[in-house]
Structure 1
């Protein structure tokens, strides 16, 4: 039994990773050994403070240690013994080890370790400092070895960081830990990236609302920074990089969600001219709100329900622009939307004429495919040329001793590597001739054949899609004339133009 004045003790346990927490040397094992020690010394254990944090860095950032110090501050009239399993559990950083010892000493606490005896002598303090410095050395060496191994994996084309949203790690015989698609989130993000590249989503705000409204996406609230990460991380294009370790962008071994060419289109749209976000005040009651303009001031009409004296509600569109001659003059919803529906119905080409257009499109598709094959062959030749340029630059780096020259060569190599990735993606992005054209463009053909059917039967999202795909710009509505001549999107403009041509024999 101890004969000193300390009879109360607290236990401090720490692991530096989740794996240690779950293994045999985890928190429970440490607590068990410390309780056995306290029982042998005659201490009454008042509390246990666990931590799941690295041994390096400021001890005041560890929740368990902060709670322990607060516990001691709350009971200044008692002297406590702080028991821990190993000297490395206290701190694996010499500076913070000394700071923590001083913080405990200032609170009247005595420190005891199961495998190290503290002595308040010059020799004892020297030995303690040496052990703390040894722990710091081991931590730094472990960190260096871990980074070296991770860097080597990235250089070989493997993602080594936390699995991004839409992926999970799976251990394989050939690759070890490899990213694989995590459905259904992977398919949802694929739709996001392809939609942003094609212009279906005009802004990050639209992407955010799409994810929050999607029934299969796990998060009902998505932070804007998450959207930025989804759109800018090359891992979704099958690439890996580690700029902090000087590992440039390269092809990865995991399955991409989209092609690198699509990823580049996303970057061009993302960092190009800003797009106006889709209106959030558009409802099922007024699908044309924000799309129909006042013919006088060319500003978007707003819409609302008006209550009559009898208590009955009536829907109206109206101009809210001050100074306009039509300011606050109501337009019946039936008149505005009825005129618009007449325009949409006229977009439908005749069945026979549409068949001729499909035949023309088929021929054009074949020509386009031949051009794509020629372009892919040209891209392959350019890739070989880039490989030759990279080899020459590497040889020049080996012969040069000037840091500035070497840095310039490395920057040029990095740019060439990026150009090579783009060219490879383009050369691999050829549509297979075996795939039927109707299968590839079934939805597009259905839309071109009958946009009115989609407008009449579709929900609000489908109707907004019709507005975006069928018209180049918003339409104007005049109180007397109705809807003025709209500017149709290119496919409908072409169909309408060809449909109005007079038939006749071609000149010999």
Structure 2
């Protein structure tokens, strides 16, 4: 009489898309789980992969897997994970997901840990989940401390602002440098708002929107929040800060697109404390540009 093979599904997860290219990426997790399934004589029906942390059961692949388990509940499928941290990086999250898998009809297994329903196995499982949570928090603290130290030394360690790109400099790490033609476009928009050439933030948005190079959202639109960020960030004046880490405004190591004086004019205008020159005098603010700016002329 033929032995009926037990069916299984594989669940893989990484906390960032960058990890998919490293040794702890999705493919290596799948390989380990596949080897484990072959050794146990399991038939792998599906593989579900999440390439970002997401929120517990709201992860796309997790939701799809739970639906699959419910559909094949009668087969009592095994859910294979490479390591306990792939399910969740916190004790509460681990318990919730473990319960959701069980409710959907699945049984959890891993090459790295033996799951069980007895008291000792449950204790070991929760200890491992606690260790994973501790590692996640320690990694986050270490990352924050490194980034805060970079800011204190005048470097910008966050996502690259529009108009800049990162360039690796020997002995200094990644530094912000001008990213043309966006740098000139952003510079013109900032100087234009400071001088009154653009009297409303909406005019700055329309100016940026007129350049196809300017970044847009998934709907192809220039977001108002991006314009606000550009107008209010001192990084464009060559300064850095991190108020949420108690790091005050400091002179940065990178070149600003505008002067600090221009940045202050912009903040005064945003707060309604600055007079706006008449449009007929705008050429005085841009003597070399006139109505045709360098960025506009380059575009044509």
Asked if residue 46 in structure 1 is aligned to residue 45 in structure 2, the reply is: yes
Q: Does 1:72 align with 2:69?
A: yes
What pairs up with 1:207-246 in 2 under 5 angstroms?
Answer: 207-219=204-216, 221-246=221-246
Q: Which residue of 1 aligns with 2:162?
A: 165
- Residues in 1 aligned to 2:112 and 2:257: alpha-carbon distance in whole angstroms: 52
Supply the distance in 2 between the matched residues of 1:173 and 1:160 (Cα, whole angstroms).
Answer: 16
Contact 2:5/2:41 (CA < 8 Å) preserved in 1? no
Matched, 1:142 2:139: yes
Query: Does structure 2 conserve the Cα–Cα contact (< 8 Å) formed by 1:203 and 1:275?
Result: no
Asked if 1:89 is matched to 2:67, the reply is: no
Structure 1: 5+ residue stretches without partners: 277-290, 292-343, 345-439, 448-453, 455-460, 462-508
Contact 2:5–2:43, Cα closer than 8 Å, also in 1: no
1:42–1:232 Cα change, 3 Å? same
Contact in 1 for aligned 2:17/2:52 (Cα 8 Å): no
In 2, the alpha carbon distance for the partners of 1:231 and 1:127 equals 53
Distance 1:221 1:68, change over 3 A: same
**What is the CA-CA distance between 1:216 and the residue it aligns to?**
4.1
| Matched-pair contact (CA < 8 Å) for 1:118–1:128 | yes
**How far is the alpha carbon of 1:29 from its aligned partner?**
1.2
State the partner residue of 1:251: 251
Contact 1:165 1:185 in 2 (8 A): yes
CA 1:443–1:275 in structure 2 vs 1: closer, same or farther (change >3 Å)? closer
Q: CA deviation at 1:273?
A: 6.2
Does the Cα contact within 8 Å between 1:6 and 1:80 map onto a contact in 2? no
How far is the alpha carbon of 1:37 from its aligned partner? 1.3
Shift of 1:69: 1.3
- State the structure with more CA Rg: 1
Q: Which runs of 5+ in 2 are unaligned?
A: 281-285
Mapped contact 1:154–1:160 kept (Cα < 8 A): yes
Distance 1:6 1:100 in 2: 26
Residue 154 of structure 1 pairs with residue 151 of structure 2: yes
Partners of 1:72 and 1:273 in 2: CA distance = 61
Q: Select which of 186, 194, 199 maps to 1:197.
A: 194
Write the distance in 2 (CA, Å) between the matches of 1:146 and 1:182. Answer: 26
| Structure 2 residue aligned with 1:117 | 114
How many angstroms does 1:59 deviate by? 1.3
- Cα 1:141–1:443, aligned 2, differ >3 Å: closer, same or farther? closer
Conserved? CA contact 1:49–1:64, under 8 Å: yes
TM-score for the superposition, normalised by structure 2: 0.86
Mapping of residues 238-317 of structure 1, within 5 Å: 238-272=238-272
CA-based RMSD of the aligned residues comes to 2.6
Between stretches 87-96 and 217-226, larger displacement belongs to 217-226
- How far did residue 139 of structure 1 move? 1.1
Which of residues 101, 104, 109 is equivalent to 1:107?
Answer: 104
Structure having greater relative contact order (Cα 8 Å, sep ≥ 6): 2
Contact conserved, 1:73 with 1:107, CA < 8 A, in 2?
Answer: yes
Q: Deviations over 1:14-47 (max 9, x none)?
A: 1122332101221111111211211221211111
TM-score of the pair, normalised by structure 1 = 0.52
